[in-house]
Chains A and B, each alone.
Chain A
C-alpha cells in the first residue's frame, strides 16, 4: 500500500501547487491583476551600432513604473556590458551599455512589456497660482521652476509673453488653460530634424512636439507653476522611430499631463509610454561611426505581476538566471517521462537537460552541428588515446582539454568567417560533452556501435523535446510568476516514481512473445 501513500502524497503536492496559484490570483490579488487585461504592449527597442574602432558607450533612458504604467519582462538581448542606474535628481532609469573597444558592428536590443492606462485629471477650480512659488514648494519641486538650457523661462521675451497670456488670471486651471490655448493656437506644428528651444519656438511660431512642449513648460514656469518635459513613445502596433514629448505641470500636489500637439488637456491616453522626465535626450552615444534605433511595438497578452514577494522583485540580471533555473526541473520531468514511460535510453539524466539549455542559448541548428562535430572528433581522439594506453583519469582530462580546444577553435573560426552565432559555443557544457564522449566510447566498446548510436540518438531526441518545451514563452512566464508550479512537478515525479507499468519500448523488446501467444491461441 506504499503505492496509495505515494499517490496521496503526489496528489497533495499537485493540490498544494494549484491551491497556492489560485490563492495568489484570487484571494491576494497579488499575482495577475485582473483589471489589467487590456492595454498590454510588448516593445523592443533595437539600436544598431556602427563601429568606429574605439571605446563606445550608449546611454538610454528606460521606462519606469508609475501610477499609469507598469513595466515588466524587461530583457536585454546581447546584454553583456549593460548596466542600469538611476539618475538621482530626475529619478530616470538609465541603461548604459559600454565597451572598451567596439571593433565590429553590433546591435543592442532592449525589450519589455508594459501595461498602460489612460487617465483624465480633474483639476480643482479653486486652486490658485502662488505669488511666491519659491516659498511654497520644497527643493525637489523647486527644481522644476528654474530655467534650463533649452527652456529659457526667465528670458525677457518669455516673461513678456507670459504676462500677456496670463493677464490678471489667478486660478491655476485658467492660467494653464490660457498657456495651453496660446501654444496650441499660435504655434504651428511641423516635424523637424531637431527640436527648437523655447525661445526659438516663440520667435519662429513653428515647432514640433519638443519645441511646443518646451514653450509650454517655459510659460508655465514663468507663471510660477512647476513644470517639466516628459518624453516617451506613443504606442501603435508596428515599427517606428519617432518619439513624442509632452509636458507635466505640478498642480495641487500632483503632476498633471498636458500634450499641446495632440490636444490632451489634463489627460493622457492609454498608449502614451513615458520613458523619461525632464528635458532629456532619449538616447545618447559616443564613439560610434553611425547609430540608429527603432521601436518594434506589438500588442501583448501576458499580464504583469505584482512585485510584492515575487521573483519579479529580484534585480533584472538575476531574473534571467532564475528563469533558467526554473526550467531545469521541467527538463528533468521530460527526461523522466522519456525514460520511465517510453523507455528511451539516454546518457545519464542530466545530459539531455543541460544540452536542451545549451540549445536555447546557442540556437538549435548550430548547437546540434557543433555537438555532433565535437562528439565525433572527441570519440576519434579518444580511440587514439586508447591505443596509447593512457590511464582513465588522465585520459578523461585529456578529452576535456581537447573538447575545450575544439570549442575555442570553433569560436575563432566563427569569428574569422563572420559567423557570430558560433561564438555562443562558449556556453556549451564542456564537462557534459566530455562525459558523453567517454560514455559513448565505453558503450561502443562494450555493446557495439549500434547500441552507442541508439543511446546518443535517444539523448538528442530527449534534449530536443526538453528544448521545445522550455522554449515556450508562456512556460517561462508562468514558471517565473508561479514558481510553486514546481510543487506540481514534484507530485508528477512522485507518480512516475511508482509507475510500474510496462515501458513502451518493452512492448517492442518483447514483441516476439506475441507470436507465441497467437500460436497458443490457434492450438486452443
Chain B
C-alpha cells in the first residue's frame, strides 16, 4: 500500500480539505471579509493587528489619474482587492522620467500602468471575474535575515490556522522563476518551519526537495525566523476577528515594522505538507481532541498549544 494513504502519516488531500475543513469550518458569509483585502486590512487594523499601510484606494476608472499623486513615493505596491494567488500584484519602485520602474527594473509606461489598473477594476484578476477595486500600499522591506535566500521579492510566512490554533507554518521564498512572487505553484520555494522554534527545516521547489536557493545558492534550512512568538500569537489572534476555522495567515517581516499580516486566505493550499514533510491530519485531529473550548482560548494559550504540535 502506498504510504501516502496511511492514516498515521495523515496527508490531507484536496477533497478532505474542502469537505471536512473548509466547507465545515469556514462559513460562506465570512468569505467576503478575507476575499476583500481592503476589508481584511481594515478589520485587522481595528483589532490592533499589524498590517501594511494603505496609501490609496481606486474603486472606479475615473480615479486612475490619482496614481500620479504617488509619483514622489520612493516605492509602493499595487494590488487588486480580490486578487487570488498573487495575481495582478505590481511592485513599483519610483519613476524614471515619464515611466514607472518595476521591482524587476523593467520600465512601465503610464498607459501600461493605466491598463493594468483598468484590468484589475474590470475583474481580470479577481476570483469570479467580477468587478474589482485596487489599492496601493506600503512597500515592505524584508528583514535582512532572509537576504541570503530571497530573490527580488519579499519572502512571506504562511501560518495555517485551525480553529484558532496554528497547526503548520511555511516560509515562502520568491525565486527568479516566480517573478518575485511568493506563490509555490508559480515557482517560489516553500520551506517548512518548526512550530516550536521557528527554525526552517526542509525546502520544496516545484514539488521537489531542495537544499539551497536555486538563484542565490545559499542553504535555506536552519534560518531562525525572527519574532516567531509574536507571529504565532498574532496569527492565533486573527481567528477571533474572522471566525473562519481553517485559514492561512500570511506574514511578512518588515525591517522597520516587524511582522505584518499581508493577507488571510480561506483556502490555504496543501503544499505546506510537502515543505514540512508532515501530514496535516494528525495535528488537525489533535486540535479537535481539545473540544469546542479551543476556540475560546486566548491567543497566547493557542500559541503555546501550537508549539507542542511540532512533535506530531
**A positions within 8 Å CB-CB of B:** 340, 343, 389, 391-393, 442, 446-447, 451, 497-503, 506-507, 509-517
Contact = CB atoms under 8 A, between A and B. Distances in A.
B20 to A, nearest CB: 6
Interface centre among B2, B14, B118, B209 (most CB of A within 10 A): B14
A510 B186 contact: no
Contacts of A511: 207
Contacts of A517: 3, 9
Interface string B1-36: 011110001010111100110000000000000000
A343 B16 CA distance: 13
A498 B273 CA distance: 22
B4 A510 contact: yes
B79 to A, nearest CB: 15
A469 to B, nearest CB: 22
Contacts of B15: 340, 499-503
Contacts of B204: 512
B115 A389 contact: yes
A500 B122 contact: no
Contacts of B273: 510, 513
A280 B188 CA distance: 80
Contacts of B193: none
Given A499-B15, A500-B13, A500-B20, A514 B3 contact: yes
B124 A442 contact: yes
A506 B277 contact: no
7 contacts: A500-B13, A500-B20, A507-B4, A507-B5, A510-B11, A513-B274, A515-B209
A512 B209 CA distance: 7
A502 B20 CA distance: 13
B111 interface: yes
A503 B18 CA distance: 12
Interface of B: 2-5, 9, 11, 13-16, 19-20, 85, 87, 111-112, 115, 118-119, 122-124, 185-186, 204, 207-209, 270, 273-274, 277
B5 A512 contact: no
Contacts of B19: 497-500
Given A389-B111, A392-B124, A446-B186, A503 B118 contact: no
Nearest to A516: B277
A389 B118 CA distance: 10
A514 B9 CA distance: 11
A359 B116 CA distance: 38
B11 A446 contact: no
Contacts of B20: 500
A45 B224 CA distance: 81
Closest 3 CB pairs of A and B: A500-B16, A392-B122, A502-B13
A497 B23 CA distance: 11
B186 A447 contact: yes
B124 A513 contact: no
A389 B64 CA distance: 15
A322 to B, nearest CB: 33
Nearest to B12: A502
B14 A506 contact: yes
B122 A391 contact: yes
Contact of B16 (A393, A501, A512, A513): A501
A506 B13 contact: yes
B4 A513 contact: yes
Contacts of A451: 185
B122 A512 contact: no
Contact of B208 (A502, A503, A512): A512
A389 B108 CA distance: 13
Given A389-B115, A392-B124, 4 more contacts: A389-B111, A392-B122, A502-B11, A506-B13
A512 B14 CA distance: 17
A512 B207 contact: yes
A506 B17 CA distance: 13
B122 A393 contact: yes
Contacts of A507: 2, 4-5
Nearest to A500: B16
B4 A512 contact: no
A339 to B, nearest CB: 9
Contacts of A389: 111-112, 115
A501 B13 CA distance: 7
Nearest to B84: A446
A451 B206 CA distance: 12
A503 B14 contact: yes
B135 to A, nearest CB: 19
Contacts of A503: 13-15
A443 to B, nearest CB: 11
A134 to B, nearest CB: 79
A513 B3 CA distance: 9
A517 B11 CA distance: 12
Contacts of B112: 389
Contacts of A442: 124
B194 to A, nearest CB: 15
A297 to B, nearest CB: 51
Nearest to A439: B129
Nearest to A343: B14
A498 B16 CA distance: 8
